[in-house]
């Protein structure tokens, strides 16, 4: 009766968020999760607060935040940092949108090559390879 309900070993914690044990340890090394806390015998045990924190990390990652950014998000206070959290999210939206635009440019260029290829008669050199080999401009540096 002195095993308080819901204290987990590292393996159970990891499973609760769908990650591997090594990932949890990695987050501890990075300071995203506390490395020392309650122990039961020789093993570290984790409570529901740490389950929540780990899930927070994974959700923020799924939204496109890097682990460094997740650190910053974790340091924000729900009560007093609303402005900052919103600015953070808006900056990430801008970031995601610029990546989308870049990919859309690639898609457009690729589609142009493919449709050109489809409209060229058979006994001609491949327009795709030809375009790659002989485009107008050298791609800008960077």
Smallest gap from Cβ 80 to DNA, in A, equals: 26
CA dihedral 20, 40, 30, 17 (to 10 degrees): 30
Q: CB burial class (10 A; 0-12, 13-18, 19+) of residue 100?
A: exposed
**Cβ-contact 27, 33 below 8 angstroms:** yes
- Interface ranges with DNA (CB under 7 A): 9-12, 19-23, 25-26, 41-44, 61, 66-68
How far apart are alpha carbons 33 and 51 in whole angstroms?
A: 10
Q: Which does 140 bind (CB under 5 to 8 A by kind): a copy of itself, DNA, none?
A: a copy of itself
- Phi, psi of 17, deg, nearest 5: -115, 5
Q: How far is the CB of 125 from a copy of itself (least distance, A)?
A: 4
Binding site for a copy of itself (CB under 8 A): 16-19, 52, 55-56, 58-60, 62-64, 73, 76-79, 81-82, 85-86, 88-90, 92-93, 96-97, 99-100, 103-104, 106-107, 109-111, 113-114, 117-118, 122, 125-126, 128-130, 132-135, 138-142
């Amino acid at each position: 009766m002195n095993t308080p309900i819901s204290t987990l070993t590292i393996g159970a914690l990891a499973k609760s968020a769908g990650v591997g044990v090594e990932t949890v340890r990695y987050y501890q090394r990075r300071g995203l999760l506390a490395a020392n806390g309650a122990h039961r015998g020789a093993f570290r045990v984790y409570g529901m607060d740490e389950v929540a924190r780990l899930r927070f990390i994974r959700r923020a990652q799924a939204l496109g935040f890097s682990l460094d950014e997740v650190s910053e998000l974790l340091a924000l206070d729900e009560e007093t940092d609303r402005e900052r959290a919103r600015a953070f999210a808006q900056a990430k939206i801008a970031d995601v949108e610029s990546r989308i635009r870049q990919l859309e440019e690639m898609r457009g260029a690729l589609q142009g090559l493919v449709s050109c290829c489809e409209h060229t008669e058979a006994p001609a050199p491949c327009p795709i390879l030809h375009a790659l080999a002989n485009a107008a401009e050298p791609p800008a540096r960077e």
